[in-house]
A and B are shown apart, each in its own frame.
Chain A
């Protein structure tokens, strides 16, 4: 039974999604506990998988017991076990949070919402667990299709944002598919482990170069790397709050995982580093992404749009860690996948909570919000400090490894860019914090000492608990980051680094 656990990670949310629809026709109220139950089981299964991987090493699971390269194979090593746990836990936390927010924003659509929600989680987990290139494409499209539908549920402009995302996202997926096609022409294999063995003899072939370029551009579209990020801010801003949390905290991170997997597992690390100068190009793209994301974030007034541009910058961090291509840099990048998932979850949770209580996301309306919603704003402040990179929080540690990595690679400009973008993100968050906590001087002088009384009006406990789980995550991952690296991440970095 325990040997079947890797398959259960995918099967549980997939089956649960269909049963959710049936159950919803009978009793609508059952959907919420059902989703939590299913994702709880799924998180247990992925934690068990991570535990097995730590104990015994890489797991190969053959679907239907067909031997690869003919059959499909799920391969779980330290890297994807780690990402599996992140995705399943984050989606569990989000499902707890979703109840009130969905009741308010999407009345009458809860059943369908949860059905597609589970399909999205299935797609994301499938992308991470599979060991087959074409299977990855199918899961990529499952996740994207569910994402398009969920984003279109949102407010006014969401349908247009979602349509743009459909067009751009499909181009990305098609590029990926073309890459798979070119690899298949020259190798006759779709299995990742098989390709790793077959490809090195062909590294100087033009076909491989074309395939690799298609992969990188396709994945870059899906993970919203800087010049290809245009779909992200609109889609993430206008989506329903719960959907924003899910896509923001997991989708780009899963894209980053696929990038690392293709660059360093399917292809041997020396291909993108030495044979073609990809890592150098990616490094400069990442610097541009960090600068652009932070500067655009400063210019926005919509809270979710600010966070969306922060994501563009965060994707830049991860890609920078990948592109410096040494042990420290890649450790930082993988650690940042975890940290960023929790930071973005927390920030978008807070944005959703503020939407829930005030109905507005415009930061100029946020005055005195710390008296109205003290717990939410405290959580926001901790997450903000983490994005900026203040020591006890986890954001500091991944940035630390990224900077050490850049220095090890003697890329001084990359290190400087990391520090500069931290300062810029400090500016972004201080702008919000200033709007919330500090009262304008003029009004104060007029009314003397009496400042207006604001009654505490917090969000429901079912929303506060998830917010504080992510805050606890941000703090504990910071404190135990050394432990996480020594048990998991050091084995996820390719041995040749």
Chain B
């Protein structure tokens, strides 16, 4: 029962680990540079899932106090009723960082494609090697 609870009860963390490993595998094993880049993106997205999971609570709501302008603002806030917004806000920043990394990497792929006419890693290495021998 405990094992069952460990796997099913925290399924979002398991999904994060699996996604991260898929991304990692693609970065290491794929020969195509574009596929490597997609792997990198999956890897980063897994981290977003991890952070968002850490902030969420079952049965909780968004962290906005209802009728906050009135007298309710002075009432005590029960933490358990609200989702922790901080990891989510951190991920907004992280998403910006990830998008710009992705953009820079795509720009690099365009340069590479213009120069070598291919995005296969071994073909690029062959092209570099033959260019060196011609020298």
Interface of A toward B, CB cutoff 8 Å: 134, 137-138, 141, 145, 148-149, 152, 156-157, 159-160, 162-163, 166-167, 170-171, 173-174, 177-178, 181, 184-185
Q: Mind listing 26 A-B residue pairs with CB under 8 Å?
A: A134-B93, A137-B94, A137-B97, A145-B101, A149-B104, A152-B108, A152-B111, A156-B128, A156-B131, A160-B112, A163-B105, A163-B108, A163-B109, A163-B112, A166-B104, A166-B105, A166-B108, A167-B37, A167-B105, A173-B97, A174-B43, A177-B94, A178-B50, A181-B54, A181-B87, A184-B87
Interface SS, B side = helix
Q: Are B54 and A160 in contact (CB under 8 A)?
A: no
Q: Write out the residue numbers on chain B whose beta carbons fall within 8 Å of the beta carbon of A148.
A: 104-105, 108
Closest residue of B by beta carbon distance from A168: B27
**A138 CA / B90 CA spacing, docked (Å):** 10
**A162 CA / B112 CA spacing, docked (Å):** 10
Q: Are A159 and B115 in contact (CB under 8 A)?
A: yes
**A177 CA / B94 CA spacing, docked (Å):** 9
Q: Write out the residue numbers on chain A whose beta carbons fall within 8 Å of the beta carbon of B44.
A: 170, 174
B135 to chain A, nearest CB (A): 11
B68 to chain A, nearest CB (A): 19
**A171 CA / B47 CA spacing, docked (Å):** 11
**A137 CA / B33 CA spacing, docked (Å):** 26
Q: Write out the residue numbers on chain B whose beta carbons fall within 8 Å of the beta carbon of A166.
A: 40, 101, 104-105, 108
Closest residue of B by beta carbon distance from A161: B108
**A148 CA / B47 CA spacing, docked (Å):** 22
Known: A166-B101, A167-B27, A181-B51. 20 other contacts (CB 8 A): A145-B101, A148-B105, A152-B108, A156-B131, A159-B111, A160-B128, A162-B108, A163-B108, A163-B109, A163-B112, A167-B37, A167-B40, A170-B43, A170-B101, A171-B24, A171-B40, A174-B43, A174-B44, A177-B94, A181-B54
| Residues A157 and B101 in contact in the complex (CB < 8 Å), given A148-B108, A163-B109 | no
A153 to chain B, nearest CB (A): 10
Q: Write out the residue numbers on chain A whose beta carbons fall within 8 Å of the beta carbon of B94.
A: 137, 177
Closest residue of B by beta carbon distance from A185: B54
Q: Are B112 and A181 in contact (CB under 8 A)?
A: no
Q: Are B112 and A170 in contact (CB under 8 A)?
A: no
Q: Are B108 and A174 in contact (CB under 8 A)?
A: no
B10 to chain A, nearest CB (A): 12
Q: Write out the residue numbers on chain A whose beta carbons fall within 8 Å of the beta carbon of B100.
A: 141, 145
Write out, one digit per residue, whether chain B residues 26-39 have a CB within 8 A of any chain A CB (1) or not (0).
Answer: 01000001001100
Write out, one digit per residue, whether chain B residues 69-113 have a CB within 8 A of any chain A CB (1) or not (0).
Answer: 000000000000000001100100110010011001101110110
Q: Are A171 and B54 in contact (CB under 8 A)?
A: no
Q: Write out the residue numbers on chain A whose beta carbons fall within 8 Å of the beta carbon of B115.
A: 159
B79 to chain A, nearest CB (A): 11
Interface of B toward A, CB cutoff 8 Å: 24, 27, 33, 36-37, 40, 43-44, 47, 50-51, 54, 86-87, 90, 93-94, 97, 100-101, 104-105, 107-109, 111-112, 115, 124, 128, 131
A141 to chain B, nearest CB (A): 5
Of B104, B128, B131, most buried by chain A (CB within 10 Å of CB) is B104
Q: Write out the residue numbers on chain A whose beta carbons fall within 8 Å of the beta carbon of B54.
A: 181, 184-185
| Residues A178 and B47 in contact in the complex (CB < 8 Å), given A163-B33, A184-B87 | yes
| Residues A141 and B51 in contact in the complex (CB < 8 Å), given A148-B104, A149-B104 | no
Q: Are A170 and B40 in contact (CB under 8 A)?
A: yes
Q: Which 10 A-B pairs have the closest CB atoms?
A: A159-B111, A141-B97, A163-B108, A166-B105, A159-B112, A148-B104, A185-B54, A159-B108, A181-B51, A170-B40
Of A173, A177, A178, most buried by chain B (CB within 10 Å of CB) is A177
**A148 CA / B27 CA spacing, docked (Å):** 18
Closest residue of A by beta carbon distance from B33: A163
| Residues A171 and B108 in contact in the complex (CB < 8 Å), given A160-B124, A166-B101, A185-B54 | no
**A167 CA / B108 CA spacing, docked (Å):** 12
Q: Write out the residue numbers on chain A whose beta carbons fall within 8 Å of the beta carbon of B128.
A: 156-157, 160
Q: Are A167 and B87 in contact (CB under 8 A)?
A: no
Closest residue of B by beta carbon distance from A149: B104
Closest residue of B by beta carbon distance from A159: B111
Q: Write out the residue numbers on chain A whose beta carbons fall within 8 Å of the beta carbon of B37.
A: 167
B108 to chain A, nearest CB (A): 5
| Residues A145 and B112 in contact in the complex (CB < 8 Å), given A174-B44, A177-B47 | no
Of B51, B108, B109, B112, most buried by chain A (CB within 10 Å of CB) is B108
